[in-house]
Amino acid sequence: MKLEGKTIIVTGGTSGIGEACVRYFAGKCGARVVAASIQKEEGAALQAELGEDRVRFVFCDVSDESSVEAMIGESVQAFGKIDGVHCNAGVWGKGLVTDFTERDFERLMGVNVKGAFWTAKHAIPAMEKTGGGVFLITTSVAAQIGFPAHALYCASKAALEALVRCLATDHAGTIRSVGVSPGTIDTPMLAASCEGWDAPVEELYAQVEQKIPVRRLGQPLDIAKTAAFLLSDESEYINGTIVTLDGGTMALPPW
Ligand SMILES: NC(=O)c1ccc[n+]([C@@H]2O[C@H](COP(=O)([O-])OP(=O)(O)OC[C@H]3O[C@@H](n4cnc5c(N)ncnc54)[C@H](O)[C@@H]3O)[C@@H](O)[C@H]2O)c1
């Protein structure tokens, strides 16, 4: 029960990695969890299934500062304090730099980068008021490599890795700032990224699995287990570190 007595907010907590984190933190680690996202139906169902004394859904569009500020306020009101935030909400986008419009840029950077900024801006003072906490960001291996036709997504994730390091130095002493960097994880986002390819999703997944050293896709629970450790007191000396969970993909030689 690594997170017993703690309140954790998970943005993007109603699908994929975020949903697995909500279930794991509340179900196996003893935390009270706020699942924040734009998915009202999924959020209401998750809250009803896991019980509102354990899991609260709060609607929040992370790209909108006032929505983030309200979500942090509601979380404190619901559970009294915040001990950790898993800043995980994200959107994916494919294309060359020459394909993107300002609207595309605003949408992707708005959720992935501004979302993390607003969440940090409002969650950090709330955590500091009650003795501090942990700020965890879901980045991506896309921050480290130039995925073909993913300039905007890669740039957004690289910005998040810089943010992890800056928060780790600026707020050290009260806030630990850490990251998880997933490789290829079996979620609705991954399935959506396969649309438009000339093979069924299962076939594409099988091809990808052959390229991953451990020969399987990551599962959302793989990320949830590490996230729980990073949010817990067991990792109290880890600050400014981003943990890669990719089955060894980034360890492969680049040829
Ligand atoms: N699946 C992968 O292979 C993979 C790999 C690396 C990184 N990631 C990152 O992991 C995170 C979770 O992705 P996932 O694969 O679980 O995807 P997903 O699409 O299943 O979940 C994304 C979540 O973000 C929420 N969200 C989207 N826009 C939002 C907004 N404006 N405000 C609040 N919430 C919003 C969605 O409602 C959803 O709950 C993302 O940051 C993604 O970039 C995923």
Domain match, 127 and 202 both: no
Domain match, 119 and 198 both: no
- Does some domain include residue 86? yes
Domain match, 179 and 192 both: no
Residue nearest (by alpha carbon) to ligand 1 atom 39: 12
As a whole number, the mean pLDDT across the chain is 97
Q: Are 12 and 37 in contact (CB under 8 A)?
A: yes
Please state the rounded mean pLDDT for residues 55-65: 98
Report the pLDDT value the prediction gives residue 145, as an integer from 0 to 100.
Answer: 95
Residue nearest (by alpha carbon) to ligand 1 atom 40: 90
90 Cα to the center of ligand 1, angstroms: 4
CATH number of the domain enclosing 170 = 3.40.50.720
Give per-residue pLDDT as tens, 199-229. Answer: 999 999 999 999 999 999 999 999 999 999 9
Percent of the chain at pLDDT exceeding 70 = 100
Please state the rounded mean pLDDT for residues 141-148: 96
| 5, 90, 98, 121, 139 from 153: Cα distances, Å | 36, 10, 14, 22, 10
- Does some domain include residue 65? yes
Domain match, 191 and 234 both: no
85 Cα to the center of ligand 1, angstroms: 15
Active site residues: 153
User: Is the predicted pLDDT of residue 138 greater than 90, yes or no?
Assistant: yes
Please state the rounded mean pLDDT for residues 48-77: 98
Report the pLDDT value the prediction gives residue 179, as an integer from 0 to 100.
Answer: 99
Instruction: Write out the residue range of the structural domain in which residue 99 sits.
Output: 7-183+219-243
Report the pLDDT value the prediction gives residue 1, as an integer from 0 to 100.
Answer: 79
Report the pLDDT value the prediction gives residue 49, as an integer from 0 to 100.
Answer: 98
User: Is the predicted pLDDT of residue 115 greater than 90, yes or no?
Assistant: yes
- Does some domain include residue 254? no
Domain match, 209 and 131 both: no
CA-to-CA distance for 155 and 150, rounded, in angstroms? 8
- What atom of ligand 1 comes closest to residue 157's alpha carbon? 43
Give per-residue pLDDT as tens, 149-195. Answer: 999 999 999 999 999 999 999 999 999 999 999 999 999 999 999 99
- Does some domain include residue 251? no
Total domains in the chain come to 2
Q: Which of 131, 117, 36 is nearest to 80 (CA)?
A: 131
pTM (global) more than 0.95: yes
- Does some domain include residue 255? no
Residues with CB under 6 A from ligand 1: 11-12, 14-18, 37-39, 60-63, 88-91, 111, 138, 140, 182, 184-185, 187-190
- Does some domain include residue 2? no
Report the pLDDT value the prediction gives residue 253, as an integer from 0 to 100.
Answer: 94
Domain match, 120 and 193 both: no
- Give 196's pLDDT tier (boundaries 50, 70, 90): confident
Q: Are 192 and 15 in contact (CB under 8 A)?
A: no
201 Cα to the center of ligand 1, angstroms: 19
